[in-house]
Amino acid sequence: MLKGIDPIISPELLFLIAQMGHGDELVLADANFPAVTMGRRVVRADGHGVPAVLEGLLKLFPLDTFVDAPAAVMERVDKPAEPAPVWKEFQRLLDGAEGRHITLDRVKRFDFYERAKNAFAVVATGEKALYGNLIIKKGVIG
């Protein structure tokens, strides 16, 4: 056990994010996401939702400030113009952690899969919310 680290961040996840560099992307995947198919590296966070894992990560993980949108969600296939309900919670957590508005890029389903394949890693969560997937891009600790 370490002081100051949210217990939701497993030793494996902590080791993984410590290896990431500026610009690397991390996918926080819902329970329906094909994590093992898409991820070069996969860390399990079963039993936890994406918002809880995101909240723990954002205490340790700076978002990229060199891009317009350091976070991305998978655009809904059924209603592309409408946000998924869980995105509101993502937005609240991202904005709160960074102290600024974070643009959430909406990425079409198969383009999201391609980004996931190229991401540093995928965190497979137990998130049950539909379209509860999020990609975050690591920034620089100043």
In-domain check, residue 99 = yes
In-domain check, residue 20 = no
CATH of the domain at 58: 3.40.1650.10
Q: What is the pLDDT of residue 142?
A: 79
Q: Which of 22, 68, 101, 131 is catalytic?
A: 22
Q: Which of 6, 24, 105, 113 is catalytic?
A: 113
22 is catalytic: yes
In-domain check, residue 106 = yes
Q: Read off the pTM.
A: 0.96
Domain total in the chain: 1
In-domain check, residue 27 = no
In-domain check, residue 31 = no
Q: What is the pLDDT of residue 1?
A: 67
In-domain check, residue 112 = yes
pLDDT by 10s per residue, the chain, length 142: 678 899 999 999 999 999 999 999 999 999 999 999 999 999 999 999 999 999 999 999 999 999 999 999 999 999 999 999 999 999 999 999 999 999 999 999 999 999 999 999 999 999 999 999 999 999 998 7
Q: Which of 64, 68, 78, 95 is catalytic?
A: 64
131 is catalytic: no
113 is catalytic: yes
In-domain check, residue 130 = yes
In-domain check, residue 72 = yes
46 exposure class (CB count in 10 Å sphere: 0-12, 13-18, 19+): exposed
| C-alpha to C-alpha distances, 82 to 40, 87, 88, nearest whole angstrom | 30, 10, 12
Domain that holds residue 85: 40-137
